[in-house]
Structure 1
């Protein structure tokens, strides 16, 4: 009896720290989600003020997500003749994108949305698991398609980086789970921008990143453009008349002459 009692005490002593750590982890994630929901409000309101001055016509392509999108200053030029709008907000995670989806995606009634996130999710303190990020992507798809069932959703793979190379295994796992999910969805596709960033030895080149070894350089964005743009043009061919930016949109006579 005493031995049994002592064993029970020892197990309890081992179990309580684990339970407390689990509770702290959950509490941190809940706290992070709450803070994030408020953290980006000023950025989202800035977008909305901009839209009042320069209204965005429906039917374009929204790019949204974290800083890899927000810092893509050449996006509009790179994607010509497609009409695109950049609604990335730096440092965000998928939970943030989901929280603001109504205001950064659905409000524009786009023919397509291209999203990049997951990078911060897997690298931040109290970071999520690959499975958790994949579930957040599922939620994003559900949010968009519940209100815009005809809108195409293109999810960019989570990129490797020199600064976060230590979490690349988790990123690869998340990418695989996300890709598997998207294969089951209509009007949704996975675009792998990560694999082409690696050389034949599976390593990254310094010139794909700016000085912080984290954010994409102009060379990296050029690579991404070569991967993303052809897919958008191919998948969205039926909505081609809506996709041209105003200065690139063909005249009626041109459309008639080409037989479209």
Structure 2
């Protein structure tokens, strides 16, 4: 692991479990119209349970935004999907890479551009990071990394600031996992970072609500033309 390296590089180190998961994705040749691409939040989501459409789950535990760039051909482009959902960022803020919100957004922008150049008819949905329980995974508690809920929110703000493309829609699901006081709902988290079944229910409901809102906005724009 990177933490034990004598020379501490800022280049992401690929672990055995990540390679194994990548091989699973490479071996999957099933044609689908939707792809979910991201980290463990995506990997552990039961797409068949929460969504009515068929989709490829290309979530990879522990992956960061720069690594998504290196695997986009196998995880997205080979499927020729009509829509792609991307959710990434929290691992970038851990102690493994410590990437700034701006750089995360730049990586994701490049990822989206690669997808669009290869699949110009595809729609991209960019999902916000989810909150964490800071007393377990915040940088002030762990004394390492950059992760905090303010910085996790900042990633999404950077997305909206630097990604101007009409084929991209932004799905903000952050608040769906907070209580009325803006505090993360502990029953929604397994370990302060990953989601319980209740957490996934709220998370996927928020995605579907945001999708519905996007469709309503598009229909309203069309009605004006």
Sort the TM-score into its range (normalised by shorter chain).
Answer: 0.7 to 0.9
Label 1:173 to 1:235 Cα distance change in 2 as closer, same or farther (>3 A): closer
Task: For residue 94 of structure 1, report the CA deviation from its aligned partner.
Answer: 0.8
Task: For residue 38 of structure 1, report the CA deviation from its aligned partner.
Answer: 8.3
Could you tell me which residue of structure 2 aligns to residue 255 of structure 1? none
Could you tell me which residue of structure 2 aligns to residue 178 of structure 1? 159
Cα distance in 1, alignment partners of residues 109 and 15 from structure 2: 19
Query: How many aligned residue pairs are there?
Result: 200
Equivalent position to 1:199, from 179, 195, 199: 179
Task: For residue 225 of structure 1, report the CA deviation from its aligned partner.
Answer: 1.6
Equivalent position to 1:143, from 108, 114, 120: 114
Q: Is 1:75–2:50 an aligned residue pair?
A: no
Q: Which runs of 4+ in 1 moved over 6 A?
A: none
- What is the TM-score with the length of structure 2 in the denominator? 0.80
Task: For residue 191 of structure 1, report the CA deviation from its aligned partner.
Answer: 0.7
CA contact (8 A) 1:110 1:151 kept: yes
Could you tell me which residue of structure 1 aligns to residue 30 of structure 2? 56
Q: Is 1:44–2:18 an aligned residue pair?
A: no
Task: For residue 96 of structure 1, report the CA deviation from its aligned partner.
Answer: 1.2
Q: Is 1:160–2:139 an aligned residue pair?
A: no
Which secondary structure state, in structure 2, belongs to the residue aligned with residue 190 of structure 1? strand
CA contact (8 A) 2:172 2:210 kept: no
Structure number with greater Rg is 1
Task: For residue 147 of structure 1, report the CA deviation from its aligned partner.
Answer: 0.4
Cα distance in 1, alignment partners of residues 96 and 22 from structure 2: 24
- What is the TM-score with the length of structure 1 in the denominator? 0.70
Cα distance in 2, alignment partners of residues 158 and 181 from structure 1: 17
Equivalent position to 2:39, from 55, 58, 66: 66
Question: Aligned ranges for residues 1-260 of structure 1 at < 5 Å?
Answer: 28-30=9-11, 32=12, 35-36=13-14, 40-49=18-27, 51=28, 55-58=29-32, 60-72=33-45, 74-80=46-52, 82-162=53-133, 163-166=136-139, 167-182=148-163, 184-210=164-190, 212-232=191-211
Which secondary structure state, in structure 2, belongs to the residue aligned with residue 179 of structure 1? helix
Which of the pair is proportionally richer in helix? 1
Task: For residue 108 of structure 1, report the CA deviation from its aligned partner.
Answer: 0.4
In structure 2, list runs of 5 or more residues that go unmatched: 1-6, 140-147, 217-225
Task: For residue 230 of structure 1, report the CA deviation from its aligned partner.
Answer: 4.4
